[in-house]
Structure 1
Amino acid sequence: MLEFPLSQWAFVCAVAGAFVGLLVNIPMVTQDEGYLPAYVAAAGLTRADPTSVSRPLAVLVHHVTAVVAALLYGAVVAVLSFVLPTAISLNGVPLLPHVIGAAGVTAFVYFFFARIAMPRFGGSLQDRADEIVRQWALTAFIFGTALALFVPVLVTQI
């Protein structure tokens, strides 16, 4: 079981998501197609072509998505901590639920984009979809890894 009240755990996850979302900007802006998933996601919300989405909206959608993904990770960890062994923990975060939660959310973020967002909302970017999805795989992996490393550190500060 988690060693934190759910409200505190949700706060930790939201802060971690915001921080990791900022951190993930680095690989996204350094890859040729790296920031385009944020434009595709924003296009899905606005029903516009990704090339007509404004940069501020794409950035906002990216950062909100990072926080939501981290909250999803937190929910997975909280639920799994009731049913899986929690004897080993990282600063109060049960290890097995933590690893499964981070890996699960990483896979979900990748597959949701690759199988739903890009095919439905890629618009004029569809001809570059393979490259965009490949670079998104790297970004999703970095997000999940950074989240998995940052959460156990952040809980010691709260």
Structure 2
Amino acid sequence: MSAPFASLPVAHIAAALPLEVRLAVAVVAGFGATAIMTIAMDALPEGDVPPYVAAAALFGRSPGSVTKRQADAAHYAAGMLAGVIYELVVSGVDSVQTVAQRLVLFGTPTPLTLSDPVAIVLVITFLYVFFARLVFPRFGDRLFEDADVRRTVRRDWLVSATVYGVALLTVVPLLYAFLPVG
């Protein structure tokens, strides 16, 4: 029965579940958030560059020689890993909070607690810095050398990472709401 859990903050639902279940939810949520982020990336001028550069780093090739399948594999694997990082940060923050305070937006209680936006900010920051400052300069080849392209790719990546974070904040509570536990 998921009805009793649907009204609880995500942290309270997650706290009642084994870590393996929480991490599985995080992987699925990371995949879903990545799919949503991909829609946003497709609308940006240089939005598809990060998956190709990430795949170039993983496969030891130049971004231009990476296949779409390899770029998608790197992109979705990174998104699922970021979902796991999110869950680990949430769990860590919740373990030091004495009471997980439920967030209220526009006067309406949400299924989120204070740890959720803290974790999202950390994940977005990690995603941006890791790609824009470490992966892109090393594996971006000629794309990184052109200052205008470099700026556009970094801006597009910040937008994409932010969309990912907002999507993750939406997908995680939905998954817990429909999780058959109880």
Residue of structure 1 in register with 2:6 after alignment: none
Residue of structure 2 in register with 1:98 after alignment: 116
Paired-residue identity, %: 33
Residue of structure 1 in register with 2:47 after alignment: 34
- Contact 1:28 1:34 (8 Å CA) reproduced: yes
The equivalent position to 1:56 in structure 2, one of 58, 65, 69, is 69
1:79 alignment partner AA: G
Unaligned runs of 5+ in 2: 1-10, 104-108
1:46 alignment partner AA: F
Q: How many residue pairs are counted as aligned between the two chains?
A: 158
Cα offset, 1:130, TM superposition: 1.2
Residue of structure 1 in register with 2:142 after alignment: 124
- TM-score, length-scaled by structure 1: 0.92
Deviations 1:87-112 (A, max 9, x none): 32479976121111111101110111
**Whole-Å separation in 2 of the counterparts to 1:29 and 1:50:** 17
- TM-score, length-scaled by structure 2: 0.81
**Whole-Å separation in 2 of the counterparts to 1:132 and 1:117:** 12
Where 1:18 maps in the other structure, the secondary structure is: helix
2:175 alignment partner AA: L
The equivalent position to 2:133 in structure 1, one of 115, 130, 139, is 115
Residue of structure 2 in register with 1:135 after alignment: 156
Unaligned runs of 5+ in 1: none
The equivalent position to 1:16 in structure 2, one of 17, 22, 29, is 29
2:18 alignment partner AA: P
- Contact 2:25 2:172 (8 Å CA) reproduced: yes
